[in-house]
């Protein structure tokens, strides 16, 4: 399988099968573990100036099958980012109140204010993933949601929110090993629910839903990044680099200080 770009081309049909979760074509582990240290610090510098600048917010969307590494990406990539400017919210089964609203309601409330990073650990994409795969809503309902999501992301982006989406792509065998580790390791057992095995049985349905999610909602303003995620060290470098590149493209700046401030003396 040839090396694929992180953001699939907008002008060609997207096939998940073309993307290798194992991909290590651009660098080795030792290099990646050295690189990530500097990338984390750079991400924090950029958060600092985004906070001062106040023109933009950053929304990071993480999706992936169970055990794809969503939690661990949050912990690793954002390790150096200060608490002042960054929040994370994880979305599980909707509460009764959330389920009584439109499907975007619970997410929009957590959209970041200008100056901040917000990480969505799972997101509104669950409405075209688990809700589709598990038949929680009729087909017409989830089918209409791709456009609704595109319009929502367009709106956020017009209002100054930079939307960056990462699909953590692991292989079926990698998931097997990670779920088994959750059973075998007493400190990870809490993460495992018997229901996870049923979810795994729906593997093919999820892959199809992931493919449609990327195919239908990959846009210039809110691109999907298909991250080869079998190797954590590779995954973290790819996510961090993509964020840094996008933030650098914003030409963020510290606000102009008051005139004459450089001549002031604190006594």
**Under the rule (CB under 6 A), what is the footprint of ligand AMP?**
90-94, 122, 126-127, 130-131, 136
Closest distance of CB 94 from ligand AMP, Å: 5
Distance CA 9, CA 220 (A): 10
DSSP H/E element including 211: helix 203-217
- First vs last C-alpha separation in the chain: 66
Distance CA 234, CA 31 (A): 10
Closest distance of CB 92 from ligand AMP, Å: 4
When CB distances to Mg ion are compared, the closest residue is 66
CB-nearer residue toward ligand AMP: 40 or 122: 122
Closest distance of CB 198 from ligand AMP, Å: 10
CB-nearer residue toward Mg ion: 66 or 211: 66
Binding residues for Mg ion, rule CB under 5 A, total 1
CB-count burial class (<10 Å; 0-12, 13-18, 19+) for 130: middle
Q: What angle is formed at CA 125 by the lines to CA 119 and CA 129, rounded to 5 degrees?
A: 135
CB-nearer residue toward ligand AMP: 125 or 224: 125
Closest distance of CB 120 from ligand AMP, Å: 11
Distance CA 170, CA 16 (A): 11
Binding segment for Mg ion (CB under 5 A), chosen from 48-56, 61-69, 220-228, 230-238, is 61-69
Q: Using CB under 5 A, list all residues that contact Mg ion.
A: 66
């Amino acid at each position: 399988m040839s090396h694929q770009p992180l953001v699939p081309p907008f002008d060609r049909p997207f096939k998940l099968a073309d993307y290798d979760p194992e991909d290590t074509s651009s660098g080795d582990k030792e290099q990646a573990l050295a690189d990530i240290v500097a990338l984390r610090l750079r991400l924090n510098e950029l958060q600092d100036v985004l906070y001062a600048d106040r023109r933009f917010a950053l929304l990071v969307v993480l999706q992936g099958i169970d055990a794809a590494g969503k939690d661990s990406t949050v912990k690793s990539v954002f390790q150096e980012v200060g608490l002042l400017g960054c929040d994370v919210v994880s979305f599980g089964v909707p509460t009764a109140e959330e389920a009584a609203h439109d499907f975007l309601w619970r997410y929009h409330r957590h959209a970041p204010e200008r100056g901040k990073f917000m990480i969505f650990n799972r997101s509104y994409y669950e409405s075209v993933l688990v809700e589709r795969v598990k038949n929680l809503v009729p087909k017409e309902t989830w089918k209409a949601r791709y456009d609704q999501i595109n319009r929502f992301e367009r709106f956020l982006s017009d209002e100054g929110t930079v939307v960056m989406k990462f699909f953590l792509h692991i292989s079926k065998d990698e998931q097997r090993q990670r779920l088994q580790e959750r059973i075998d390791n007493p400190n990870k057992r809490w993460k495992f629910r018997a229901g996870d095995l049923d979810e795994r049985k729906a593997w093919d349905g999820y892959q199809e839903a992931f493919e449609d999610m990327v195919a239908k909602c990959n846009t210039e303003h809110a691109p999907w990044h298909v991250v080869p995620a079998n190797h954590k060290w590779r995954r973290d470098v790819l996510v961090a680099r993509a964020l840094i590149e996008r933030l650098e493209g914003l030409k963020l700046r510290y606000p102009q200080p008051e005139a004459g401030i450089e001549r002031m003396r604190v006594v």
